[in-house]
Chain A
């Protein structure tokens, strides 16, 4: 390197302290960059900023959001009750599909749908059928003809009355040619739904059903009553343009996958006088993001959250965590058509190897109830508490049953399941629980599409875990997942491939039972039979956990995933 090159090099330049491009120039550039950042930071607040004597800074934004920065740096954001009224901010899971009355099949969708639309009956968290658009209903003695009498005061958002024609159009719209989900399985023949008069609708079912009102309630979340005029012009995507309905909220804006804003329905036919004026819903694909938003003060309500999601909020002074018991449960099923699971002693042994209290405490933080290997939840009115004793862990008996079945040294088997809340951890805990009795499980965890497409109903000699959401009555659990596959055909959800004539007969008796006493008696027989046969294990029932901002009251949720804030209010 010669002298001139050395002179021109950066190294030499450094020694000369670079008089031309000095630090100041680069600091200027940095300042410009930081200035732009700060400019972006600046809120377009048109309200006021006030500093109190103790250093607390309060900023009121144009949108009514009040941000308080305490002297210690703690920031809290609340919603003001100014001229714009009270706003409640809600975090919901992103709807899996568009808000389509025909297609909705997930919690985010039904929760968003259920704000502007209403059902004939609302199935509340204590399984009471609350009259909404229907003020009363009755059936014939056989239970296959049901008559609903509509509330004469009920109106849609535009003030037009809710009539029997609207109910008929809704049922035909959902169960007719628009490819609705499980609605058809409830015995409804759309052609046999008729308007007797303006306020009376009659359903003639293809099979008798004592629980039919629940199938026309919010339990069947597609069955919200919409105007006949909507169904006449129905096309895919049309509902999202209006969110038409008779509910207490009117849609202001909807951004698919992002947010929905509702305002109070000032013409609501019922009483919504205590309702907040506005509800801002933000959708989240990820529960953790909703929790983050809550911790930041962005939300007032998370209507449903898992135990693991709620964990950061359990001890937070800024959150109130509450729960209701639900019938939602996981089913640990076996392929009962192939060895070793074709022997019920093997299935019983596995059921006996589980410590259910430990599962409820460890996986659900105590937010659940232990199951007893049948899907009749203990809060159902027909639950028979005398039918069968609670199964508890007994490894000695489990090993004896395995030996009796010809597997004294255990065996190897796959256990397939899906990514869903705590289910993956449940699979691992089951595997470790069975190791002491010699059963070596290989756990496979798949995304929902792969699991349901390739593993759920496969007759491959495996075990698996599947989830069943809450229902107001157990008919769905007792039907497709348990009836003989040859009886249900393509509509079978019987992952165990379990076939039992005695059970099929009991199911028919259960669904057509004329009164609760008879149904309870039959339920007891079903509980005992399933507990003995163990086509699947029900390790526990999962509570529905909600989170609200302290001071906010009036949130009502159901195990199905509906929520209402009609009576919601902020203290002060």
Chain B
């Protein structure tokens, strides 16, 4: 197990390194130089050149990259060009925000989709089953910006039930912040519900049809015991792995939702960084998101291994 973990960590570090190179190359392809973007099109060239010199963005690309990566390995992700703040500070705050949104979405979607999936499996072929599977699949394919806009217009503007701007007023308490996050969490729930519910449903159906379930029933065990001990325990294994693998998406993949609901999470911060050609912030953000994905995938593998003794990681 420890060898497996070490190997995965090693591969993750290589992935993150390649990711940083890709981001760096990508930012070099953006039109216009950094000084010009910061000072605007009407600043004179002398001022732009002076700013580029001060920021170090006039140096050779490899020198810039080496400077950045050598600091990054010590945990210092540099200084944001557009926000004039340390990247660590900006990312730390944004990561906290993203985790709040992800946690709320998880708290809503996991029980709902597990219950929905199990219920659909036990009612296979009925209207409820089709409602959950087809409805879930339909919800999954609705882009977040579509469902998000509808939610803002209906619940934020017309009904006024919930805030359509996810940023709570400064100094708000935890519960107030959660209230502001309900609407942005719903598009995420819609995206994930169908996926998790279908995986759950398939797992439960497979377990219901398995020999051990048949044997347990024929032994005369109460049905509730069979479902709880034999069916669910086996059926939820792949589901748990799928859920764990979504953590990365929920933390770093919410660019559209965060921009739409004006929420300063990692996704929106990355969007701002890309718009401003802010390489230190963009690269730092991508590394954090990449790390979140890697960690979530590793946790998914470990959880699967722990829950299923048949899997031996080495």
Contacts and interface: CB of A to CB of B under 8 A. Distances in A.
A8 B209 contact: yes
Given A5-B214, A20-B227, A30-B115, A179 B54 contact: yes
Contacts of A456: 41
B99 interface: no
A449 B107 contact: no
A58 interface: no
Interface stretch (B17-25, B120-128, B304-312): B120-128
A255 B170 contact: yes
A355 B182 CA distance: 48
Contacts of B242: none
A73 B83 contact: no
A63 B31 contact: no
A40 B51 CA distance: 46
A21 B118 contact: yes
Nearest to B271: A285
Contacts of A292: 152, 156-157, 164-165
B9 interface: no
Interface in A1-54: 4-5, 7-11, 13-14, 16, 18-21, 23, 26, 29-30, 32-33, 36-37, 39-44
A179 B264 contact: no
B181 A40 contact: yes
Contacts of A282: 165, 167, 262
Q: What bracket does the count of chain A residues touching chain B fall in?
A: 35 or more
A9 B82 contact: no
A196 interface: no
B178 interface: yes
A97 B276 contact: yes
Task: Please indicate which of the listed interface residues A7, A43, A65, A240 has the most CB atoms of chain B within 10 Å of its own CB.
Answer: A43
B182 A94 contact: no
A18 B223 contact: yes
B272 A453 contact: no
B93 interface: yes
A259 B262 CA distance: 11
Interface stretch (A180-188, A374-382, A390-398, A499-507): A180-188
B159 to A, nearest CB: 7
A31 to B, nearest CB: 10
Contacts of A255: 93, 170, 264
B156 A36 contact: no
Q: Which of B90, B162, B169, B222 has the most CB of A within 10 A?
A: B169
Nearest to A16: B223
Contacts of B108: 33, 36-37
B42 A182 contact: yes
Interface in A240-267: 240, 253, 255-259, 261
A289 B41 contact: no
A412 interface: no
A295 interface: yes
A44 B175 contact: yes
B161 interface: yes
The 4 closest A-B pairs by CB, nearest first: A20-B224, A98-B84, A20-B223, A75-B160
Interface of B: 30-32, 35-48, 50-51, 54, 79-80, 82-85, 90, 93, 104, 107-108, 111-112, 114-115, 118-119, 121-126, 152, 156-157, 159-165, 167, 169-176, 178-179, 181-182, 204-205, 208-210, 213-214, 217-218, 222-228, 259-262, 264, 268-269, 271-272, 276-277
Interface of A: 4-5, 7-11, 13-14, 16, 18-21, 23, 26, 29-30, 32-33, 36-37, 39-44, 61-63, 65, 73-75, 94, 96-100, 103, 105-106, 177-182, 184-185, 236-237, 240, 253, 255-259, 261, 280, 282, 284-286, 289, 292-293, 295-298, 448-450, 452-454, 456, 480, 490-491, 493
